[in-house]
Amino acid sequence: MRVLVTGAYGFVGNAVVRELARAGHEVHALTRGSGAGGLSELPVARVWRGDLRDAAALRPALEGVQGVCHLAALTGVREVVGTDDYSAVNVRGTETLLDVLAESARASGTVPAVVLASSAAVYGPAAEPITEGVPPEPASPYGRSKVEAEAVLRERAERGGVAGVALRCFNISGAVAGVGDRDESRIIPKTLAVAAGRAAQLTMNGDGTAVRDFVHVGDVAVAFRLALESTAGERYRCYNVGATGAGMGEIVALAREVTGRPIPVTMRRPPLPEIPVSLADTARIRAELGWLPKRSSLRELLADAWNAAGC
């Protein structure tokens, strides 16, 4: 299958491209940047450059494509970024991508598969574990944009123009091919930055007892491949992708063990109320796609992320 991966040169995109190529798919990459950076060896058949909101740039990239893994997005749950910024990229960019894809599909008489990278940020406070049936209640502009992007994909899929899958990924970490998460606003990269000496201490919201769900980026990549390959005869589905529950204090304690470095911690009152526990119910993706996380123990997540940091 010829597959276009948007956001192909990002942390998750790198892993998805490699998993698709390993499975024998012809992978094309869409990037807004001017180069591949440290990912020049990414196994793609062709690189296209363009903005998601630019239909003219998307048309040649989507020609002949049977599937799209849509990962390009403006991210950041905690940043105070204008709603319009998230809407412009994450929602209107998705609309433009799907419109151009529909044009190409009508010309070829095909129904392409689209797998959207969504997020646990679509959920609000909920009894854990969280199932896909929990009504979305996002608390951030980013989360709201993901709810709206899912709605766009669902509407287009129900029209019959695409077969759509949304993957609501929880906290992704680890590394594939030496590429880890560089966003040090997130707990694991932030903790490892202190261990590496790039920050003097870790400032933690709350008392360290908050529990979150983590999943290895390699396991996420497998979920994308399985979703892409399972869309025949389907219109729209969504799945949670999570694996390992861990407390914030537990992460720091194990990071000290994995890295052999001190990690000073300062705790502060959270600027916003923290959800005590947020865990994914992944029964649906396990039953329907046969997905099983194989690399998502907390120790492997931390070790792979630490090794990717080159410390």
Q: Which pLDDT belongs to residue 275?
A: 84
Q: Mark residue 174 as left, alpha or beta (left: phi above 0; alpha: psi -120 to 50; beta: remaining).
A: left
With bands split at pLDDT 50, 70 and 90, how would you rate the model's confidence at 33?
confident
> What confidence tier does 39 reach under pLDDT thresholds 50, 70, 90?
low
**Whole-number Å distance between alpha carbons of 262 and 187:** 16
- Catalytic: which of 9, 86, 123, 142? 142
Grouping H, G, I as helix, E, B as strand and the rest as coil, residue 289 is helix
- Could you write out the three-class secondary structure of 72-139? CCCCCCCCCCCHHHHHHHHHHHHHHHHHHHHHHHHHHCCCCEEEEEEEHHHCCCCCCCECCCCCCCCC
Is there a contact between 61 and 27 (Cβ–Cβ < 8 Å)? no
122: which strand partners? none
Active site residue 142: yes
**Averaged over 102-114, what is the pLDDT?**
89
The Cα–Cα gap between 112 and 220 comes to 21
pLDDT digits (tens, 9 = 90+) for 236-276: 999 999 999 999 999 999 999 999 999 999 999 887 777 88
Tokens 């046969």 sit on residue: 290
Query: Tell me: the pLDDT tens digits for 139-151?
Result: 889 999 999 999 9
pLDDT tens sequence across 179-223: 999 999 999 999 999 999 999 999 998 999 999 999 999 999 999
> In terms of pTM, does the model score above 0.85?
yes
Helix, strand, coil in percent for the chain, rounding step 5: 40, 20, 40
Per-residue exposure over 181-209, b if at least 16 CB sit within 10 Å of its own CB, e if not: beeeebbbbbbbbbbeeebeebebbeeee
Calculate mean pLDDT across residues 105-125: 92
Q: Which domains does the chain have, with CATH numbers?
A: 2-172+214-241 (3.40.50.720), 176-213+244-276+294-308 (3.90.25.10)
Cβ burial 68-107 (10 Å sphere, 16+ → b, else e): bbbbbbbbbbeeeeeeeebbebbbbbbbbbbebbbebbee
